[in-house]
Structure formats: C-alpha cells, structure tokens
Amino acid sequence: MNDEDRSPSHAQEATFEVPEVEVVIEIPRGSFLKRGSTGHIDFISPLPCPYNYGSVPKFLGLEGDLLDALILGPRLPVGTRIRVKAWGAVILTDRGMTDDKLICSDRRPSLSECQNVLRFFRFYAKCKGILNIWRRRPGRNACDGWCEAAQALARARPRHDSWKEPPVAF
C-alpha cells in the first residue's frame, strides 16, 4: 500500500486536530437511489450504496458541486445533518475533474475500513466511467488514492448564497 492509500496515523493525529464538518445525508447506507446535491435522482444503482453519502453544504469542491462526504457507521436517514470528524479523503477523478470525498466517522477508521473505502471508490470510478461513456460525457475516471482531509478542505472553496447547483451535469 502506498502513501496515498493510507489513512492518517496515530502519530499524525497527535500533531494536528482532526477537522470537523457538517454533513447532510443525500444517500443513506443501503440505498439504490443516487441523488445529487440538488436532490434530483442521478441514477438507480444496481448495487446498494455501502456508506451514508452526502455533502458538506459550506464548501464547493473543485468540480463546482458541494464537497462530497461519506460517513462510516449505521444507516442515517436522508436529510440528516450531522457534525462529524473528517479523517481523510479519497481523490476521485470524474470526467477529468477532481472530486474529493471526505471520509468521516465519529472515530478513527481502521486500516481495513480505509482499504474498503478505496476498493469501493476504485470500483465506483470504473462504473462511473462506463456510465459517462453511455451518456457521451468524455474524460478520465479514476480513484487517485487517499489524502488528508485538510488537503481536500484546502482545495475546496466556501459556498456563497448565490450557488444553486453545479455548473456541469453529473
């Protein structure tokens, strides 16, 4: 496993504070409906989502949509707002655009959980690539590994009240 595949170490935790973010759940764990940040259904998945998936309403990611976040743990209802620690992030590339995914939990994820998250996003990137070909939306799709949550948050920009929806269709 290389550096970008690792979660933060205990030694790193002692040198910095783990950031906390507010996340709004858009896709509960186990759901087949993939909703975007505006609430519209993007697609119906043949497989259930293995995580609670949502967004951080105060930040926009590099692709212009709300910063994505997943929360490990039991299923949470759609619309749940929860303040939680962001332990790291997965760097996903979707149609050539960086689309960071904060990995959140009330406790530090185990190495096994981090590896499972990476496996999921590697699989997801391949599936999204096929969907994008079918939708005639060109560009590279890949999971580019793990980074610190602070790096993903530093790449994000604050959301302004004028933001209504992402500038590109997902």
Cα separation, 83 vs 169, whole angstroms: 28
Instruction: Outline where the chain has alpha helix (H).
Output: 10-15, 111-134, 149-155
pLDDT in tens, 4-30: 454 444 444 445 689 999 999 999 999
Q: How many domains does the chain have?
A: 1
Does 143 map to a domain?
Answer: yes
Does 166 map to a domain?
Answer: no
Residue pair 81/24 in contact (Cβ under 8 Å)? The answer is: yes
Q: Letter for the amino acid at 16?
A: F
Does 60 map to a domain?
Answer: yes
Give the model's pLDDT for residue 3. 44
Does 20 map to a domain?
Answer: yes
Give the model's pLDDT for residue 98. 87
Give the model's pLDDT for residue 166. 65
What Cα–Cα distance (Å) separates residue 42 from each residue in 26, 76, 128, 163? Answer: 12, 20, 11, 19
Domain holding 119, by residue range, is: 3-155
Does 164 map to a domain?
Answer: no
Enter the pTM of the model.
Answer: 0.86
Cα separation, 163 vs 60, whole angstroms: 9
Give the model's pLDDT for residue 39. 76
Give the model's pLDDT for residue 9. 45
With CA atoms as reference, report the closest residue to 101 among 46, 74, 62, 43.
Answer: 62
The token pair that represents 24 in the structure block: 């709004």
CATH number at residue 9: 3.90.80.10
* Burial grade of 6 (CB within 10 A; 0-12, 13-18, 19 or more): middle
- Residue numbers of the chain with a pLDDT score lower than 50: 1-4, 6-14
